[in-house]
Chains A and B, each alone.
Chain A
Amino acid sequence: MMYIIRRFILLITTILLVSIITFGVFQILPGDPVRTMLGTEADPTQIENLRSELGLDRPLYEQYADWMKGLLTGELGNSIRFSMPVKDLLFDRLPVTMSLALLTLTIVLLVSLPLGMFAARRQNKLSDVSLSTLTQIGMAVPSFWLGMMLILYVGMKFSFFKISGYIPWTQSVSGALSTLVLPALTIAIPQIAVNFRYVRTAILEQMQLDYVRTIRSKGMSEQNVMYKHVLKNAMIPILTVFGLIMAEVVAGTIIVEQVFSLPGVGQLLITAISNRDFPLVQGIVMYITVAVVVINFIVDILYSVLDPRIRLR
């Protein structure tokens, strides 16, 4: 229990620190949101009107206090660029990013786990070596390039795949998939490569341990050795990496949504930064932080369930 409480305190501290840094950084950065939004053609009257309408002419500490108050009640203020509540913008975009992240994770898991196990059992054989080489390439490929290649060679050839935009699941399941598969693959491919290598190594490490030799000598079938013992013990290091991969997937959506014009949170973040839309950037960064920190928290808890020794450290 103490372990969980300690982890929880760490979670709250991280979120608080990030909130302070996010607010601070965007106050120091040069670039006026109102001018950026209105461009060179803005009438000085319009600039002044908008600035007071948005409360940007108030002292900094008041703006900060308001933002913190809002944060606690879940009210993240109004976006400067879109004149809408940040909360509404986020809720509109979240399903897109969540769908993309979940689909990506599913693909990563479904491909990398069996492949890693397969390669581990055929250590140093041709299939293992070729898989390892292939994943080396997979890790090195930049995702924006991969996205472009998928658009060119898959999207443009097969009309099922859409190369831009998003169709909600509620409107059409196949439609949603047609817009999500290529972006999900773009993020998944490098992650499959990373996870494959960890799975392979973790399983190989376990297989060389004494307990495996013992249960094998007792005549247990190879299938049972693998699934009942090796895989379970190998899950701890794999899980660590999986926490990292989830964070990568959340971050990966930022670039990929841009390439595929997917109206998700990542795309919103890019727009918000380039427009100096402070309330929106702060809102999104807080959301990403909470998502990543909570994922890591869950992973930490899962460890302690899988390996009780961790709780004692």
Chain B
Amino acid sequence: MLLLLVGLIISACSNDEDKKNTNQVSTNAPVTTETPQEIVVRINDDPDFLDPHKATASISYQMILNIFEGLMAPETDGSLKQGLAESYDISEDGLTYTFKIRSGVKFHNGEDLTIEDIQYSFDRLMGKNGGEKMSNNFDNVASTEAPDATTFVIKLKEPNSNFLYSLTARQSAIIPKNNDGKHNENPIGTGPFSYVKYAPGSNLVLKKNDSYWKEGLPYLDKVTFTFQSDDQAAIMSLMANEVDLTSVPWQRVNEVESSHHLSHQNNNSSLIVTFNETKAPFDNVKVRQAMNYAISKSDIIDSVFAGYAVPLGSNMSPAMGDYQKKGLENIYKLDVDKAKALLAEAGYPDGFKTKITVSSHNDIYSNIAQIVAANLKEIGVDVEIEVVEWGIWLDRVYFGRDYNMTTIDLTGRASAYEILNDYISTNDSENFFLFKNDEYDKIMADVLKETDTAKQIDYYQRAQEILAEQAVSVYVADYQIVWGSDKQVTGLKSYPFWFHDMSEVKFSN
């Protein structure tokens, strides 16, 4: 038996040798061999759904946005461009959106994209096909119609300057009507890659869409998203060439620096240390400001993210360009005396005891909690650290609002409105801070009625000032994701949200 085992291993090794030899022969031959255009991308977790209308986890979109497209498409700078719509027009009152649909677009099953498919996709999302409503994004839609075979019209009940953002594949992917009931098992879209197979816990395989409407794209023949939850194992897979692209843990960047290509992406997320705004003592703005003066952002950035992070001053990252109000990060410079004075003013001259509840699904949260506890000790605040599982954190902290302090990173979105709407007092599903501020609510209502972009920016910037003044959270940082890739991989694009856009990626010699 042992001999058999050894024999098998030896024969396997020699097979491997043979392969290497044949490769060498072929590279020496006059015929130039092309680098295989196949990429393996490591992803931390499985997608929640392949059906784009059911998926909500950002991890799913990293992958499936390669399969699906919407009427509009995201740009790397956070703006929008035309997707399946060739052109669009918004009426002056901001209520009627008219889209001209691109011709010659085919679904992965070979059938043409028709206006019926577009109608079907929106009806499905709005629950007008007899099924349940699948999204709240379209509650404001009064009607949809298709006056001719290439025109699609959406009428709104009220103007909404953020509405175009609801028309990208992330919110409203266009899917074929004749695939009804099978969108999750056999997803079909119009994107650069088509679905091949999904092995839960193992991988998701996509292949090139040969009849993609964008001339010459994509370059890759095959994309494999392989699921690997452990960061340390993933980095070893990168070094062993089993994976071509993965995020690199910050502390291990120097190990792959010389052998791989590294790119840094502003994550457009806001890592915050936050409070339950209805619970004493955090219902007092002075206490929250004291926390802001006492917690050292640079300590967290240096030790948890090895410096790969940008300090923030509100719930918006520099990845959002002009929408971000600059300078807010300097409002609360580390000042222990000021923090103590504010606590005394608030009626806590000797500090107080509290608890920070963090999720265990990523080490960064418990690492941050330790720094926070050490920082706050200096102003007399005694912080107990409670580490719970992700499911319990969601249940108790996020949805149950049963907490004093916590830390989390809020995933970035392409739309400024969607980033800031978490703090609207009536947004029961997202406002887990239980923040309530009338001026803030009014600004966020007014910005939707504003059609002028410059004025919208003013509104959003004021909203951020309110968050900073009210010290709703300690806005710590937007940490960067460091992507490590095979040196031959080119054409990776980074967006202000999670999306591995494979359409322009290729292996070059």
Chain A residues with CB under 8 A of B399: 32, 35
Asked whether A92 and B199 contact (CB < 8 A) given A40-B411, A43-B429, the answer is yes
Number of A-B residue pairs with CB-CB distance less than 8 Å in the complex they form: 156
Question: Measured between C-beta atoms, what is the minimum distance from A90 to chain B in Å?
Answer: 11
Judged by a CB distance under 8 angstroms, whether A127 is at the interface is: no
Chain A residues with CB under 8 A of B200: 79, 81-82, 84, 89, 92, 268
Q: In the bound complex, do residue B135 and residue A164 qualify as a contact, i.e. CB atoms below 8 Å apart?
A: no
B230 touches A259 (CB 8 A): yes
Residues of A within 8 A of B (CB): 30-33, 35-46, 49-50, 79, 81-84, 89, 92-93, 106, 110, 148, 151-152, 155-156, 159-160, 162-166, 173-175, 177-178, 181, 258-261, 263, 267-268, 271, 274-276
For B395-411 the 0/1 string (1 means CB < 8 A from A) is: 11011000000001011
Question: Do the beta carbons of A151 and B56 come within 8 Å of each other?
Answer: no
Residue of A nearest to B410 (CB): A40
B135 adjacent to A45 (CB under 8 Å): yes
CB of A81 within 8 A of CB of B56, answer no
CB proximity to A under 8 Å, residues B180-206: 184, 199-202
The residue among A81, A83, A260 with the most chain B CB atoms within 10 A of its own CB is A83
Proximity bits, B77-114, A CB within 8 Å = 1, else 0: 00000000000000000000000000000000000000
Tell me if B11 and A174 are in contact (CB < 8 A). yes
**With A and B bound together, what is the CA distance between A2 and B371 in angstroms?**
65
Asked if residues A31 and B8 are in contact (CB atoms below 8 Å), the reply is no
Q: How far is the CA of A31 from the CA of B388 in the complex (A)?
A: 10
CB <8 Å contact, A261 and B233: yes
B454 lies within 8 A of chain A by Cβ: no
Instruction: Return 8 A-B CB contacts under 8 Å, by A number.
Output: A31-B392, A32-B394, A37-B57, A45-B134, A163-B242, A164-B226, A164-B228, A268-B201
Least CB distance from A51 to B in Å reads 11
Q: Which of B2, B12, B134, B242 is A164 in contact with, Cβ under 8 Å?
A: B242
For B, the interface residue count at a CB cutoff of 8 angstroms equals: 55
Q: Name A43's contact: one of B46, B135, B236 (CB within 8 Å).
A: B135
When distances are taken between beta carbons in the complex, the residues of chain B under 8 Å from A49 are 132-134
| Residues on B facing A (Cβ under 8 Å) | 1-2, 5, 8-9, 11-13, 15-16, 46, 48-49, 54, 56-58, 132-136, 184, 199-202, 226-230, 232-233, 236-237, 239-240, 242-243, 361, 389-392, 394-396, 398-399, 408, 410-411, 429-430
What separation, in Å, do the CA atoms of A163 and B230 have in the docked complex?
A: 13
List chain A residues, Cβ under 8 A from B132.
Answer: 45, 49
Q: Please name the 5 residue pairs, one residue from A and one from B, whose CB atoms are nearest each other, closest first.
A: A31-B391, A174-B12, A263-B202, A36-B391, A82-B200
Give the complex CA separation of A19 and B127 in angstroms: 39
Identify the interface centre among A155, A162, A165, A275: most chain B CB within 10 Å of its CB: A165
Q: Which of B54, B226, B391 is within 8 Å of A32, CB to CB?
A: B391
Residues of B within 8 A of A173 (CB): 8, 12
Q: Is the CB of B236 within 8 A of A261?
A: no
